[in-house]
Amino acid sequence: MSEQVSTRPLVDKLGIGPGMRVAIVGVPDASLLDMLRTRTDDITKGSPRSATDVVFLGADSVEQLASLTVLRARLKPSGAIWVVSRKGRTATLRDVEVIAAARAAGLVDNKVVSFSETHTSLRLVIPLGLR
Protein backbone atom coordinates (compact mmCIF):
# COMPACT_ATOMS: atom_id res chain seq x y z
CA MET A 1 0.00 0.00 0.00
CA SER A 2 1.21 3.48 -0.77
CA GLU A 3 0.90 6.31 1.70
CA GLN A 4 -1.63 8.92 0.67
CA VAL A 5 -0.37 12.48 0.83
CA SER A 6 -2.94 15.17 1.54
CA THR A 7 -3.20 17.94 -1.01
CA ARG A 8 -5.27 20.21 1.26
CA PRO A 9 -3.56 23.53 2.00
CA LEU A 10 -2.08 23.86 5.50
CA VAL A 11 -4.36 26.84 6.24
CA ASP A 12 -7.36 24.51 5.75
CA LYS A 13 -5.86 21.71 7.86
CA LEU A 14 -5.38 24.25 10.66
CA GLY A 15 -9.02 25.33 10.37
CA ILE A 16 -8.41 29.00 9.60
CA GLY A 17 -11.54 30.56 8.16
CA PRO A 18 -12.15 33.98 6.64
CA GLY A 19 -12.05 36.81 9.17
CA MET A 20 -11.02 34.69 12.16
CA ARG A 21 -9.22 36.36 15.05
CA VAL A 22 -5.79 34.75 15.29
CA ALA A 23 -2.81 35.23 17.64
CA ILE A 24 0.78 34.12 17.14
CA VAL A 25 2.77 33.58 20.33
CA GLY A 26 6.40 32.56 19.95
CA VAL A 27 6.19 31.06 16.46
CA PRO A 28 8.91 32.85 14.43
CA ASP A 29 7.86 31.32 11.09
CA ALA A 30 7.29 34.24 8.66
CA SER A 31 5.49 31.93 6.25
CA LEU A 32 2.81 31.37 8.95
CA LEU A 33 1.94 35.07 8.93
CA ASP A 34 1.83 35.13 5.13
CA MET A 35 -0.41 32.06 5.06
CA LEU A 36 -2.79 33.48 7.69
CA ARG A 37 -3.10 36.76 5.78
CA THR A 38 -4.71 34.84 2.91
CA ARG A 39 -7.72 34.34 5.22
CA THR A 40 -7.77 37.13 7.78
CA ASP A 41 -6.35 40.51 8.70
CA ASP A 42 -7.29 40.07 12.38
CA ILE A 43 -3.86 38.79 13.49
CA THR A 44 -2.07 39.65 16.72
CA LYS A 45 1.57 38.86 17.47
CA GLY A 46 2.03 38.21 21.16
CA SER A 47 -0.68 38.21 23.81
CA PRO A 48 -4.06 37.39 22.24
CA ARG A 49 -7.04 39.68 22.58
CA SER A 50 -10.26 38.36 24.10
CA ALA A 51 -12.51 36.15 21.98
CA THR A 52 -9.66 34.83 19.84
CA ASP A 53 -10.52 31.98 17.46
CA VAL A 54 -7.07 30.42 17.11
CA VAL A 55 -3.78 30.82 18.97
CA PHE A 56 -0.49 29.46 17.63
CA LEU A 57 1.89 28.82 20.54
CA GLY A 58 5.49 27.98 19.77
CA ALA A 59 6.88 25.67 22.45
CA ASP A 60 9.94 23.48 22.74
CA SER A 61 9.90 22.95 26.51
CA VAL A 62 7.38 22.18 29.25
CA GLU A 63 8.08 25.64 30.71
CA GLN A 64 6.83 27.27 27.51
CA LEU A 65 3.47 25.53 28.04
CA ALA A 66 2.87 27.39 31.32
CA SER A 67 0.91 30.06 29.43
CA LEU A 68 -1.83 27.62 28.33
CA THR A 69 -4.19 28.64 31.15
CA VAL A 70 -3.89 32.34 30.27
CA LEU A 71 -4.28 31.59 26.55
CA ARG A 72 -7.36 29.41 27.24
CA ALA A 73 -9.04 32.38 28.95
CA ARG A 74 -8.59 34.45 25.75
CA LEU A 75 -10.25 31.87 23.47
CA LYS A 76 -13.78 31.85 22.18
CA PRO A 77 -15.50 28.77 23.63
CA SER A 78 -15.11 27.02 20.27
CA GLY A 79 -11.55 28.28 19.76
CA ALA A 80 -8.31 26.35 19.61
CA ILE A 81 -4.66 26.56 20.58
CA TRP A 82 -2.15 24.99 18.21
CA VAL A 83 1.05 24.06 20.02
CA VAL A 84 3.82 24.17 17.42
CA SER A 85 7.01 22.29 18.31
CA ARG A 86 9.98 20.63 16.69
CA LYS A 87 9.51 17.07 15.46
CA GLY A 88 11.70 14.07 14.85
CA ARG A 89 15.24 13.86 16.17
CA THR A 90 15.34 17.56 17.03
CA ALA A 91 12.19 17.38 19.20
CA THR A 92 12.66 18.61 22.76
CA LEU A 93 9.00 18.37 23.79
CA ARG A 94 7.02 15.13 23.72
CA ASP A 95 3.32 14.96 22.84
CA VAL A 96 2.54 13.40 26.24
CA GLU A 97 4.04 16.47 27.90
CA VAL A 98 1.84 18.77 25.80
CA ILE A 99 -1.23 16.64 26.59
CA ALA A 100 -0.48 16.71 30.34
CA ALA A 101 -0.05 20.50 30.30
CA ALA A 102 -3.25 20.85 28.29
CA ARG A 103 -5.25 18.82 30.81
CA ALA A 104 -3.83 20.88 33.67
CA ALA A 105 -5.08 24.00 31.83
CA GLY A 106 -8.56 22.54 31.24
CA LEU A 107 -7.96 21.67 27.60
CA VAL A 108 -7.98 18.45 25.56
CA ASP A 109 -6.08 17.52 22.42
CA ASN A 110 -8.05 16.52 19.34
CA LYS A 111 -5.89 16.84 16.22
CA VAL A 112 -2.30 16.67 15.00
CA VAL A 113 -1.07 18.38 11.82
CA SER A 114 2.38 18.37 10.27
CA PHE A 115 3.14 22.08 10.43
CA SER A 116 6.29 21.97 8.31
CA GLU A 117 9.23 19.71 7.47
CA THR A 118 10.69 20.49 10.90
CA HIS A 119 7.65 21.17 13.10
CA THR A 120 4.46 19.48 14.19
CA SER A 121 1.34 21.00 15.72
CA LEU A 122 -1.13 19.65 18.24
CA ARG A 123 -4.58 21.27 18.54
CA LEU A 124 -5.96 21.89 22.03
CA VAL A 125 -9.57 22.84 22.67
CA ILE A 126 -11.94 23.46 25.57
CA PRO A 127 -13.88 20.24 26.23
CA LEU A 128 -17.48 20.34 24.93
CA GLY A 129 -18.89 19.94 28.43
CA LEU A 130 -17.12 23.12 29.60
CA ARG A 131 -18.06 25.43 26.72
- pLDDT of 3: 61
The pLDDT of residue 1: 53
pLDDT, residue 4, reads: 67
Confidence at residue 23, expressed as pLDDT on a 0 to 100 scale: 98
What is the reported pLDDT for 127? 96
The structural domains of the chain, with segments of one domain joined by +, span: 10-130
Which of the residues in the chain have pLDDT under 70?
A: 1-5
Three-class SS of the chain: CCCCCCCCCHHHHCCCCCCCCEEEECCCCHHHHHHHCCCCCCEEECCCCCCEEEEEEECCCHHHHCCHHHHHHHEEEEEEEEEEEECHHHCCCCHHHHHHHHHHCCCEEEEEEECCCCEEEEEEECCHHHC
Give residue 29's pLDDT: 82
**What's the pLDDT at 28?**
83
pTM of the model: 0.94
Q: Report whether CATH 3.65.10.10 matches the domain 10-130.
A: no
